[in-house]
Structure 1
Amino acid sequence: MATPISTCLYCQNNETLHSLMIKICDLKVSQLFLFKEQSHLGRCNVVYKDHTIEFHELSDEQRNLFMEDVATVGKAIAKAFNPAKINYGAYADTISHLHMHVVPKYVDGYGFGGVFEMNPQKVTLSDAEYAEVVEKIKLAL
């Protein structure tokens, strides 16, 4: 079932969103957020700027720009943190707003070799550590 804009986590930009993520910046057609749960150091969400639910609803130009944003974030995370692999996931069963999880994976790190858990609630950082991760990503963009 599609999430109406009036209750969409990303569109409402409310305390619930801010308890889960930290906005890093705006991209071409997206917003970039650092996921506060950092079992995968540098994990981000690239969130389409408008309340679009399905990837196939985008025009060719919008889709290409969104994927360009996703690739830009992947490159920045690779440069900033040097992971062994980056996983990408577009899930939206309960939060119907187009977004892409960008999940760096590290050899011998949490969940390497498997599908990442959405929110394992294993690693949170201090405010200073979040700021450092955000700054590394911004510099790599």
Structure 2
Amino acid sequence: MEIREIKTDKKRYLDLLLLADEQEEMIDRYLERGTMYVLEDDGVKAECVVTDEGSGILELKNIAVEPDCQGRGYGKALVDFLIQTYRGQYGTIQVGTGDSPTTIPFYESCGFHRHHLVKNFFTDHYDHPIYECGVQLVDMVYLQREM
């Protein structure tokens, strides 16, 4: 398993990015200003994008694992990599996600704790309803953990 930074042509991973953020316009808001990593294990299995949000906060904007590779530890490996890579440069890592029964437990298992809620984020910022596990996402939950 190898994790490497992608510096150019980040959109070649658009299909994978869209697994975690369904609207390309939203991805465009952070992709070029962010730092992207891919996890390879006999091919690309996962990716993530992080951004500097100021005040010592690193934000995990996008993390996605190929559907047939989920549950194998690739997502957690990326989170652990980010913690190790950015420890000492940032005090906090945060992630914003839908209030979903699949994503919240994943982040909590990685040491994140609920921090705050942005009401109606998905209905106000996306041009179509966003569903996960058959549930329409409305609010954005921010989770944080210390580095």
If the length of structure 2 is used for normalisation, what is the TM-score? 0.39
Quick one: higher RCO (CA 8 Å, sep 6+), 1 or 2?
1
Tell me which protein shows more helix as a share of its residues. 1
If the length of structure 1 is used for normalisation, what is the TM-score? 0.41
